[in-house]
Amino acid sequence: MAFASWSDFIAMGGYSFYVWLAYGVSLLSVLLLVISTVTKRKKIFKHVEQRLLREQRIKAAENREGTL
Amino acid sequence: MWKWLHPYAKAEKSYALSGKLMPWFLAVALPTFVVGIIWGLAFAPADYQQGDSFRIIYIHVPAAMMAMGAYSTMAIAAFIGLVWQIRLAEMTVAATAPIGAVYTFIALFTGAAWGKPMWGAWWVWDARLTSELILLFVYLGIIALYNAFSDKVLAGRAASILTLVGVINLPIIHFSVVWWNTLHQGATITKFDQPSMATDMLVPLLIMIVSFAAFLGFMVLYRFRNEILQRESHRPWVIALVQQSSSSVNKRG
């Protein structure tokens, strides 16, 4: 262990701002990448699903009788 | 002998294989990340000159290395895609670029946060920093070019060509610290000599490099699958997949 106490660890030998800034921004950017990637997958699924439903509705409308 | 590779030119097969591989990459990435970051931040000894600010190295170096690793992957995939017209290879290029861009951004940002206390400046127009910034712009260019075409076959080809053009930047980044007098320090690990770093500091760094590499692999597979789904969204197997997932959601709800 390179630090004597928890507060020592947070202080990072006086470089706390730079160290935690670097780690924080890195974590945040990776997190954003993960979120955008996962939502993309969900979006594609939703898109295809909506298209299938629309196709179903069109087909149902074609078979309807007594309309123009 | 290599015929077993053939079925994987089919998107459906590649999609399934990627899905099988993904948990393994995550199983490597997560534990190494936890171990590496705790070891690097709390247990590695402070540097005798830079004190605790050097701990930024545990994300700076892996991100920078894998930013270039991602680019090499893309370049190989782009070459394969262009020469043998394998569209899955071009999808790999498109899938990898955003991750490479994020890694490059991390390398640049953590470098700035390290440079401020050590050099006294967030940014200097040093050869290493400038060539790395160009790498970020190349990545953004590839992403933008790929998204500029609605015809994804054309988009994949254009992005692949740009990827191959950008390869020239890789040796420039790597050797920039040798060819020019840079403020950025020279190579620590990737040289034909013993690494100039104490073992207690080096081991967590190597663990973090493995973690970043495995995470890169995981994200590439994830985005590659997204790319396949989007392009094949009219194919029966994708439709079956969507119907299956929506019916399982309905049952639960």
Asked if residue A47 is part of any domain, the answer here is: yes
Do B106 and B55 meet the contact criterion of CB atoms below 8 Å apart? no
- At how many degrees (to 10) do helices B127-148 and B87-119 cross? 150
In which domain, by residue range, is A36 found?
29-68
pLDDT-based confidence at residue B253 (cuts at 50, 70, 90) = very low
Average pLDDT over residues B171-176: 94
Chain B, nearest residue to A15 by Cα: B53
Among B26, B106, B122, B101, CA closest to B61: B106
Residue-wise pLDDT tens digits, B192-230 = 677 778 888 999 999 999 999 999 999 999 999 999 999
Of A15, A22, A52, the CB nearest to B110: A22
Residue-wise pLDDT tens digits, B79-105 = 999 999 999 999 999 999 999 999 999
- Provide the number of structural domains found in chain A: 1
Residues 6+ positions from B72 with CB-CB distance below 8 Å = B170
pLDDT-based confidence at residue B250 (cuts at 50, 70, 90) = low
Q: Looking at chain B, how many residues does it have?
A: 253
Query: Would you state the pLDDT for residue A33?
Result: 97
Query: Would you state the pLDDT for residue A63?
Result: 79
Residue B117: list chain A partners with CB under 8 A.
15, 18
At residue B160, the 3 state secondary structure works out as helix
Taking 60 as the threshold, does the pLDDT of residue A31 lie above it?
Answer: yes
Burial grade of B112 (CB within 10 A; 0-12, 13-18, 19 or more) = buried
Of A2, A34, A40, the CB nearest to B226: A40
What are the tokens at B50? 């830079």
- Provide the CA A42 distance to its chain's centre, in angstroms: 9
Return phi, psi of residue A5, to 5°: -145, 170
Q: Chain B within 8 Å of A40 (Cβ-Cβ)?
A: yes
Residue-wise pLDDT tens digits, B135-146 = 999 999 999 999
Look at B245 and A3 and tell me if their CB atoms are within 8 Å: no
Asked if residue A17 is part of any domain, the answer here is: no
Do A41 and B226 meet the contact criterion of CB atoms below 8 Å apart? yes
Look at B246 and A49 and tell me if their CB atoms are within 8 Å: yes
Q: Chain B within 8 Å of A66 (Cβ-Cβ)?
A: no
User: What ipTM does this complex have?
Assistant: 0.90
- Taking only Cα atoms into account, the Rg of chain B, rounded to an integer number of angstroms, comes to 21
Task: Please give the interface size between A and B, counted as residue pairs whose CB atoms are below 8 Å apart.
Answer: 101
Taking 90 as the threshold, does the pLDDT of residue A27 lie above it?
Answer: yes
Query: Would you state the pLDDT for residue A55?
Result: 92
Taking 90 as the threshold, does the pLDDT of residue B9 lie above it?
Answer: no
Do B42 and A3 meet the contact criterion of CB atoms below 8 Å apart? yes
Query: Would you state the pLDDT for residue B216?
Result: 97
Look at A12 and B52 and tell me if their CB atoms are within 8 Å: yes
Residue whose pair of structure tokens reads 């948990």 in the numeric block: B23
Asked if residue A5 is part of any domain, the answer here is: no
| Per-position b or e across B114-140, b if 16+ CB within 10 A of its CB | bbbbbeeeeeeebbbbbbbebbbebbe
Chain B, nearest residue to A27 by Cα: B106
Average pLDDT over residues B8-20: 91
Look at A45 and B245 and tell me if their CB atoms are within 8 Å: yes
Task: Mutation target for A interface from B47, B53, B57, B119: give the one with most A CBs within 10 A.
Answer: B53
Mean pLDDT of chain B: 92
Look at A26 and B114 and tell me if their CB atoms are within 8 Å: no
Count Cβ atoms below 10 Å from residue B14 Cβ, excluding itself: 19
Query: Would you state the pLDDT for residue B6?
Result: 80
Q: What percent of chain B has pLDDT over 70?
A: 97
Among B198, B212, B12, B19, CA closest to B106: B212
Query: Would you state the pLDDT for residue B252?
Result: 52
At residue B132, the 3 state secondary structure works out as helix
Asked if residue A23 is part of any domain, the answer here is: no
Asked if residue A24 is part of any domain, the answer here is: no
CA distance linking residue B19 with residue B190, whole number of Å: 33
Average pLDDT over residues B8-17: 89
Burial grade of B12 (CB within 10 A; 0-12, 13-18, 19 or more) = middle
Q: Chain B within 8 Å of A23 (Cβ-Cβ)?
A: yes
Residue A5: list chain B partners with CB under 8 A.
none
Taking 60 as the threshold, does the pLDDT of residue A34 lie above it?
Answer: yes
Asked if residue A50 is part of any domain, the answer here is: yes
| Per-position b or e across A11-24, b if 16+ CB within 10 A of its CB | ebbebeebbebbbe
Among A28, A22, A27, CA closest to B56: A22
Residue B105: list chain A partners with CB under 8 A.
29
Taking 70 as the threshold, does the pLDDT of residue B251 lie above it?
Answer: no
- Taking only Cα atoms into account, the Rg of chain A, rounded to an integer number of angstroms, comes to 27
Task: Mutation target for A interface from B34, B38, B41, B52: give the one with most A CBs within 10 A.
Answer: B52
